[in-house]
Structure 1
């Protein structure tokens, strides 16, 4: 039987390149001094034999890898799962592949992933994680675009109109008769634009805000227990809940059912995101839907423009205005 279709080995690469196997290993691992001529010969042999993915050889030759790093908190959350699928589809249409990194809400893990992405010579990075104070992004020379994350004024941030969504959700609760609508969110603060929308509507109505925070990185069932405890503290004064993500809204609905509280008669609930998964699981949930596919396509377009030199990135101090897309309020049986 002919061996011409067997998988090539490191020895085959060395033989074709006219160097030792040790030299090939040093080139692949970027160890020790090697002339550019030697690197080029090894890279060309790798490419010719398809010893490893051609991206390795291209990177060694100073060309693009056609790979993009994507950093998200976790694909276990429906929103980020749908974001990753949409990004992968948009990248595939442009001839790129995706390297996925789940930060799990840990800043140190995100730093490790950044090093991994750089060492794998990705062409750019799309970040949707929510860890603060990641100074390493300031030192990255690769093009970076974020999805709903403020990293730096000069890094493009693609997102939905969060503040408008917060206003729409809160205004609906007031129209449905709520007089003490609460906000339930992951983290409270000036960066939470959904909270800003909620607060602005209540300020205009002369109603005192009620804000609860339960971080979405807290594992289950602890997270649901904390949400239930917070809701119990405000029963029965709270007559509506604006949850800044649909999973939290679902947890509120589950708590209400167990507590014998009828929705929407005694409690009205609005979520946020409107992912396909949650829409199937909770078809009656009133929610503010983000245009996730559009956001992801736009993030890919922005990143590839920067990679291809079509965007001006020469001045790192240049402030880039966030790219925002309108949201859609979908009314269901929970309001």
Structure 2
């Protein structure tokens, strides 16, 4: 057994529970068949020895850990940084803490984090990562909610009204006199609802869409170089840009300043997100503002409802309508 003031080991837990170290490892990792009596003995030994945080032992006994896993691309991006802070505040009000995972745009890393969160017995997962084709989500037997990411029809998705936001941004450009507004976005597809709003407004106005894409996960400086290439190719035929996130809009403004293009006289620019960080850095940027706090509170409420009702969305094939919150338009000096 461990000496006084010495950190207990897995072997100490096994000795206290009267089982082998391999059995303790299998219990901790939920591998293979184990009787509930064995799980209870190992959980009791963990708690008595304080081998790991008591949350693990509680989970093994079928109780809650009061921990929620949160997966985002990276908190270095203002939108996701604000999302994490808002989620943390919303969860804290219910006595929960979060385990933060930055997927960094890598599907393999997101899969590793999913396994880590499950191994740590989190009570639920909120995912806002932007990787496609992650089949592991279909097998998760935990409460699961996504933010602005449609994984499957039966998994709750909380987001702003992206299509309405796309319409607002495009209509603003037309009101300000644009006749050839372009869309700058991460991915052009029918699933891009901000693009859908842009295309709908132009179709109504009889204007041909102009779309440029720069993948969401493109690292710097290549991301800026690709945006600059699109803008250099478009001008002078384009008189406005709707960028589907504020960082892209900021890059457009920087390119215009370096290229001697006057904003808004020669080029009008609208962004999307409206985070506090961007409002401070670019206070004059016209943008569509997401209600981030409301979105995160809605995601938290949905997840805790699943936890309280023992409802696992991945195992339910019933289609769930996304929970959408309205956006607002801020008209700044760039339009």
Following the alignment from structure 1 to structure 2, what is the Cα–Cα distance between the partners of residues 21 and 323? 46
* 1:80-101 CA distance string (max 9 Å, x none): 1111111111112211121222
Runs of 4+ in 1 over 4 A off after TM superposition: 11-27, 29-35, 310-315
Q: Residue 117 of structure 1 corresponds to which residue in structure 2?
A: 117
Query: Which residue in 2 is equivalent to 1:297?
Result: 297
Structure-2 change in CA distance of 1:108 and 1:281 (3 Å) = same
1:151, 1:246 → 2: CA distance? 24
Q: Name the structure 2 match of 1:255.
A: 255
Residue pairs, 1:224-303, within 5 angstroms: 224-303=224-303
User: How has the CA–CA distance of structure 1 residues 313 and 31 changed in structure 2, closer, same or farther, with 3 Å as cutoff?
Assistant: closer
Scaled by the length of structure 1, the TM-score of the pair is: 0.92
Change (3 A) 1:21 1:188: closer
- Measured after TM superposition, the shift of residue 42 of structure 1 is 2.9
Structure-2 separation of matches of 1:148 and 1:169: 19
Query: What is the CA–CA distance in structure 2 between the aligned matches of 1:98 and 1:273, rounded to whole Å?
Result: 23
String of CA shifts for 1:61-94, please: whole Å, max 9, x gaps. Answer: 1222221111111112111111111111111221
Identify if the C-alpha distance between structure 1 residues 21 and 277 changes in structure 2 by more than 3 Å, giving closer, same or farther.
Answer: same
Query: In structure 2, how many angstroms separate the alpha carbons of the residues matched to 1:25 and 1:297?
Result: 37
The total of aligned residue pairs comes to 332
Structure 1 position 198 matched with structure 2 position 198: yes
Compare 301-310 and 207-216 and name the one that shifted more: 301-310
Task: Pick closer, same or farther for the CA change 1:145–1:36 going to 2, 3 Å.
Answer: same
Q: Distance in 1 between matches of 2:316 and 2:169?
A: 37
Are the structure 2 counterparts of residues 245 and 49 from structure 1 closer, same or farther at C-alpha, using a change threshold of 3 Å? same
Q: Deviations over 1:204-258 (max 9, x none)?
A: 1111111100012111111001100110001111111000000000000000000
Distance, in Å, in 2 between the alignment partners of 1:151 and 1:328 is 26
- The alignment partner of 1:99 has SS state of strand
CA distance 1:20–1:144, change in 2 (3 Å): closer
Distance in 2 separating the partners of 1:144 and 1:235:
45
C-alpha separation in 1, matches of 2:61 and 2:166: 49
CA distance 1:313–1:212, change in 2 (3 Å):
closer
Change (3 A) 1:105 1:205: same
Q: Please give the alpha-carbon distance, in whole angstroms, between the structure 2 residues aligned to 1:261 and 1:268.
A: 10
CA contact (8 A) 2:155 2:314 kept: no
Aligned counterpart, 2:316:
316
Other-structure match for 2:8: 9
CA distance in 2: counterparts of 1:314 and 1:105, whole angstroms: 23
The one-character-per-residue Cα deviations of 1:294-325 (angstroms, maximum 9, x if unpaired) are: 10011011011011117685972211001000
Corresponding residue number in structure 2 for 1:99: 99
Contact 2:142-2:314 within 8 A present in 1 as well: no
Shift of 1:17: 4.5
Q: CA deviation at 1:38?
A: 3.6
1:57 aligned partner: 57
In structure 1, how many angstroms separate the alpha carbons of the residues matched to 2:318 and 2:77? 33
Answer whether contact 1:7 1:51 (CA < 8 A) is retained.
no
- Name the residue aligned to 1:70: 70
Stretches of structure 2 lacking an aligned partner (at least 5 in a row) = none
Distance (whole Å) between structure 1 residues aligned to residue 134 and residue 15 of structure 2: 44
- Tell me how far apart the structure 2 counterparts of residues 199 and 275 of structure 1 sit (CA, whole Å): 25
8 Å contact 2:180–2:238 — kept in the other structure? yes
Any gaps of 5 or more consecutive residues in structure 1? none
| Aligned twin of 1:87 | 87
